[in-house]
Structure 1
Amino acid sequence: MNENKKNLVDGNEAPTSGDAVDIVAKGLMSSETNFLQLIDEVTKIYNEIVEIYQTAERNKKICEDILNRVQLAEASVRNLKDRKEFFTEENYIKLYRLVNIIRKMRQFLVEITQLKGLKKYIHSKAIQEIFNNLINEFEATIRILQVSLVLESTTSAEELTLSTVCAGREAASKVERPFSDFLKLIEDVTKLYNEIVEIYQTAEYNKRICEAMVNRIKIADTALKNLRIRNLDFFSKKNYDNFSNLVIVIKNIRQFLKKITKSSGFEKLTGASSINENFSNLIDEFESTIKPLQFSLIIYFNPDDYKKVKTDVKDLTAEEWIKKKMKEEDIKYFEYSEFNKLKKIGEGGFGVVYKAETNDNKQVALKGLIDKKSSNIEENVIASFVKELKNLRKVDHHDNIISFLGISKDDIGYIMVLKYANGGNLRDYLKIKFCSLQWKNMIQMALDITCGLKCLHSNDIIHRDLHSKNILVNDGKLLIADFGLSKRLTEVTSNSKSNNIGIIEYVEPQCLRSVNSAQSFYIKDKRSDVYSLGVLLWEITSGHPPFHNIELEERRQLGYHISCSELREVPIKGTPLEYQQLYKKCWDGDPKKRPNIDEVYNEIYKFNANVTNEQQEDSLATSISDSLNSLNKQSGQSFLCIESSIVCNQGKSITDKSLN
């Protein structure tokens, strides 16, 4: 393979001048294989441009514009593989030029979509000028190929009959319907596609459902435009009827999308189940009408669309649930204008948390969907939001669960209004207050968390993300918060790719191993929460998060050591043995050996009862001692003698704090 041919296959830059391109192309054109390499190169570059678009940090719209053009070209060029008559030297030069300009487009997008490459373009005018030049060059190249590819035709419907397209072929006698009839249907599909694109661009709701429909119809529209290069057998009465049915289905899709993407139409719907049903029916109709045409049209569908749409239907169910509950006054609604003095106090899961004051000077916490400075909103976030909201409503009556007050809405989306915890989160609280804590305080804190988790588990709610930043403190009482946020286990992706390094310390080994070995995600259950609870029980006695003093390089391997080397924190000196044994059982590497939450609660309750009894005994001893001291003074009896007797009868004494 000569050097120029190697550059083509490797995807390196080719000569840019027209004459140079033609010279190189003539040198390469020697066989059908070279033609196929060019066609494959177009597909390869198109896929690279798709990836560039998906990861673009800047200039997304320019990227999309170029992507759409290249997509249409690629769909048409791909159909050339079976057209041996196209493989001439003249057409090879034309196709080579197309590949060259598409390569230049790809390189341009690489530079303008990432901040690093964008620096070379000082002014936006430079980007616009290069973009215009590339588009002009692309369209000029496409026009040259147009006769062969039949991407577009300026021939009128009256002139463009099938016999014109396939002049000289005896096969023309097979035609059952004139091409002008098919052309009318093609124009209908294109018109409907453009209308659906406009609906998608202005959609207020159900964007993902709309996108899935757009993608299907776009591929069908592109393929239909290429019918002029298809087999004559396609133009039969049967296919015309199938084609007509397809147009009817696409019209129904357009009407459906109009209803579900605007608030006026949205309110007419009776429920998410009806939308799901309508969507499924339309997809089935579309697939069934496309199937008879599929061999001729060469249409490919992405199976992931179903997953995306399923997510969007869940979002719809979630939003309907919120509206229904507010309408029934089952959930209190707060006008967003009621809140003032907003201050960001935390961030995690899918949302940002703000402290705010109501008009009557009550402090609340507002948990929104995203930071207002961000432009990134996941489509399925409302479903997760509502999942936590539903869970909260089941358990917020409990003293150790954060209280849910109601719902509000800003320009971003729905906001949960929660009780404000004046002591912050447990991690920060321990940093400030640990030195003043006594053993009785620590046991009470352990009991608070255990009681809250017991309530969750009794309602079949699994927290899945239990750590000291998700435990809040209000007037010294601990409250569990943020359950329902991290259901997809994104908190345990590799440390080098995640900002959630602190979470690793609370995640059970089985979950870490499944991620590290690239297996399917481990499904957390109640035993996963018990593992995290064990780490929290240790943290309460230490005053700091686990493995806080490990160097960064070692921390990168922390997940591995926890999951594969049974690495755990060392008990704090002075911790009662029974308490140590309890949290060690909780963080056992074998989930089957961990106690359930009721068993943990019983143990913690006993510890707390013992501390309370000992305090009461000490208090009683002090009271009796004071009384006897008073009697001694009255009777003249030796105080030392009586005090000694009391201590012997008491049998033991404890210090308020048994931890150093």
Structure 2
Amino acid sequence: NALLQSNDSNRSLRIALENGFELRYTIQDNICRDCTDSSGICGSESGSGNFQCLCTDKPHKSSCNINDKKEGINWRVKIAIGVVAVFVGLTIASIVWFIYHRKTTESYRASSALLSRNISSVPSPKSSDIEKAEELLVGVRLFSYTELEEATNNFDPSKELGDGGFGTVYYGKLKDGRSVAVKRLYDNNFKRAEQFRNEVEILTGLRHPNLVALFGCSSKQSRDLLLVYEYVANGTLADHLHGPQANPSSLPWSTRLKIAIETASALKYLHASKIIHRDVKSNNILLDQNFNVKVADFGLSRLFPTGQTHVSTAPQGTPGYVDPDYHLCYQLSNKSDVYSFAVVLMELISSLPAVDITRPRQEINLSSMAVLKIQNHKLHEMLDPSLGFDTDTRVRQTVIAVAELAFQCLQCDKDLRPCMSHVVDTLTKIKNNGFGSEMIDDADLKKIGSLATQSPDSVIVKWDSK
């Protein structure tokens, strides 16, 4: 019986498969119902058996409609993210530009504000006329940028007179025919504006034949900080001693002594006016066609408080000229100028630069070389042979006297240095053939050894520098 029933079932199944049949079922699965409701067909993934909703485009995980909706949301999110990214980028760029523009504007306003302290508060009907620039800064004319640009032929590099630590100096010619030197400061920032104002304030209150004259400066509306000086045509002392214009025949000892006295006179006047130059060097001593001195460059100068012996400030100046006491103790005094001037005196005697790294280590600085040579009775080894030290007795006497004075001024202890007034008096006596009392004769040069241990007054015998 069992075998018969089994054969009947197989026969019925075969007949059903051959003729076909309709399968009806009731869906109880919500996931499949969602799939069929979205016009999909319930199915499964081959291999894993995970449910799939077979749609017209491709299989989806649950429903054709739901997946399409989610994909639509994702697409919109992507667009939104892109828009937000662009907006944020533009915002950051705008902020950066705003900060840069604001800093530039504040720098410009700072430089203008520094100038405005000196400008009269009385309104002028012509103050808006920048081209005429008739507004005065304590008696100094204000130039427009355009006017000075035209005077220097658009700051033509071929018209450069010099290039220093703070700016470039150009030759220019004003519309009234005057030749001028225009200093263009490198950076229009607060520090440069402070130096700019410092130089203007100092020079406008000074009148001395051996100080360079300030004709004017740029107006508040100028895009650069510009100073306008009288033009001194014959270069600097450094040019004539060891630079491109060096010519022994053009600088005899009498001319060098004259330069020393005029420079000392200018510094004496500054000190009497409570001003420390702070950058005395041969490059800042200008010479005209008759070798008259014009001391220049007051960017580092300091107004000295009344009643004080020094000012505490970070050392500034030019290597080879900086007072060692100032460098060590951060105390600036008028004796700092005295030290720097002594280096210039040794340049006048030797025609050597203040610093030369090709010289032996102990002689790289001219001041160190001078002290060593004087202490070792070898002053003659550093003298410019064109001076006539060995052939002219008067030259020999005055050179020795100037070297003695320079040695006193080169003392490391500032209290042992003479003041500038004493320096001027001593140089004047030397020029007039009188150092103290009588000049030293050649026959007396070997008779002053006993003075060496008592007083720092001789460069002929050995004595110690304090």
TM-score, reference length from structure 2:
0.55
> Higher Cα Rg: structure 1 or 2?
2
Q: Determine the structure 2 residue equivalent to 1:463.
A: 277
Distance in 2 (CA, whole Å) between partners of 1:568 and 1:378 is 45
Q: Determine the structure 2 residue equivalent to 1:203.
A: 102
Counterpart check, 1:447 vs 2:258: no
Quick one: which of 389, 408, 414 aligns to 2:218? 408
Counterpart check, 1:554 vs 2:361: yes
Secondary structure of the residue aligned to 1:457 is: helix
Gaps of 5+ in 1: 1-139, 144-191, 209-260, 267-311, 371-375, 493-502, 515-520, 612-660
Quick one: which of 462, 466, 484 aligns to 2:299? 484
Quick one: which of 580, 596, 602 aligns to 2:425? 602
Classify 1:407/1:560 alpha carbon distance in 2 versus 1 (closer, same or farther; 3 Å).
Answer: closer
CA-CA distance at 1:194 after TM superposition: 11
Classify 1:505/1:337 alpha carbon distance in 2 versus 1 (closer, same or farther; 3 Å).
Answer: closer
Classify 1:463/1:486 alpha carbon distance in 2 versus 1 (closer, same or farther; 3 Å).
Answer: closer
Distance in 1 (CA, whole Å) between partners of 2:173 and 2:367 is 45
Conserved in 2, the CA contact under 8 Å of 1:365 and 1:419?
yes
Conserved in 1, the CA contact under 8 Å of 2:354 and 2:366?
no
Conserved in 2, the CA contact under 8 Å of 1:585 and 1:594?
yes
Deviation digits for residues 622-647 of structure 1 (CA, Å, limit 9, x no counterpart): xxxxxxxxxxxxxxxxxxxxxxxxxx
Q: Determine the structure 2 residue equivalent to 1:366.
A: 182
Q: More helix by proportion, 1 or 2?
A: 1
Classify 1:602/1:591 alpha carbon distance in 2 versus 1 (closer, same or farther; 3 Å).
Answer: same
Distance in 1 (CA, whole Å) between partners of 2:360 and 2:106 is 43
Secondary structure of the residue aligned to 1:603 is: helix
Q: How does 1:29-428 map to 2 (within 5 A)?
A: 199-203=98-102, 207=106, 315=111, 317-321=113-117, 323-324=119-120, 327-328=135-136, 330-334=139-143, 335-341=147-153, 342=156, 343-370=159-186, 377-395=188-206, 397-408=207-218, 412-428=223-239
Q: Determine the structure 1 residue equivalent to 2:240.
A: 429
CA-CA distance at 1:363 after TM superposition: 1.5
Distance in 1 (CA, whole Å) between partners of 2:277 and 2:261 is 17
Distance in 1 (CA, whole Å) between partners of 2:253 and 2:234 is 19
Counterpart check, 1:578 vs 2:389: no
Conserved in 1, the CA contact under 8 Å of 2:218 and 2:227?
yes
Q: What letter matches 2:142 in structure 1?
A: Y
Classify 1:608/1:561 alpha carbon distance in 2 versus 1 (closer, same or farther; 3 Å).
Answer: closer
Q: What letter matches 1:318 in structure 2?
A: L
Conserved in 1, the CA contact under 8 Å of 2:300 and 2:316?
no
Distance in 1 (CA, whole Å) between partners of 2:402 and 2:198 is 34
Distance in 2 (CA, whole Å) between partners of 1:504 and 1:379 is 25
Distance in 1 (CA, whole Å) between partners of 2:295 and 2:164 is 14
Q: What letter matches 1:422 in structure 2?
A: A
Conserved in 2, the CA contact under 8 Å of 1:462 and 1:483?
no
Deviation digits for residues 217-241 of structure 1 (CA, Å, limit 9, x no counterpart): xxxxxxxxxxxxxxxxxxxxxxxxx
Q: Determine the structure 1 residue equivalent to 2:288.
A: 474
Conserved in 1, the CA contact under 8 Å of 2:339 and 2:410?
yes
TM-score, reference length from structure 1:
0.40
Conserved in 2, the CA contact under 8 Å of 1:340 and 1:359?
no
Distance in 2 (CA, whole Å) between partners of 1:327 and 1:545 is 43
Conserved in 2, the CA contact under 8 Å of 1:527 and 1:596?
yes
Distance in 2 (CA, whole Å) between partners of 1:609 and 1:390 is 36
Distance in 1 (CA, whole Å) between partners of 2:141 and 2:183 is 15
Secondary structure of the residue aligned to 2:332 is: coil
CA-CA distance at 1:403 after TM superposition: 0.9
Classify 1:609/1:575 alpha carbon distance in 2 versus 1 (closer, same or farther; 3 Å).
Answer: closer
Distance in 1 (CA, whole Å) between partners of 2:171 and 2:345 is 28
Distance in 2 (CA, whole Å) between partners of 1:445 and 1:507 is 21
Q: More strand by proportion, 1 or 2?
A: 2
Secondary structure of the residue aligned to 1:421 is: coil
Distance in 1 (CA, whole Å) between partners of 2:281 and 2:366 is 19
Distance in 2 (CA, whole Å) between partners of 1:490 and 1:352 is 23
CA-CA distance at 1:429 after TM superposition: 1.9
Q: What letter matches 1:331 in structure 2?
A: V
Q: What letter matches 2:415 in structure 1?
A: K
Distance in 2 (CA, whole Å) between partners of 1:406 and 1:452 is 21
Distance in 1 (CA, whole Å) between partners of 2:211 and 2:192 is 23
Q: What letter matches 1:369 in structure 2?
A: L
Classify 1:351/1:485 alpha carbon distance in 2 versus 1 (closer, same or farther; 3 Å).
Answer: farther
Classify 1:442/1:201 alpha carbon distance in 2 versus 1 (closer, same or farther; 3 Å).
Answer: closer
Classify 1:340/1:195 alpha carbon distance in 2 versus 1 (closer, same or farther; 3 Å).
Answer: closer
Distance in 1 (CA, whole Å) between partners of 2:331 and 2:366 is 19
Distance in 2 (CA, whole Å) between partners of 1:506 and 1:398 is 24
CA-CA distance at 1:368 after TM superposition: 1.1
CA-CA distance at 1:459 after TM superposition: 0.9
Q: Determine the structure 1 residue equivalent to 2:450.
A: none
- What is the Cα-based RMSD across aligned positions, in Å? 3.8
Conserved in 1, the CA contact under 8 Å of 2:367 and 2:410?
no
CA-CA distance at 1:196 after TM superposition: 8.0
Quick one: which of 491, 501, 504 aligns to 2:319? 504
Conserved in 1, the CA contact under 8 Å of 2:355 and 2:365?
no
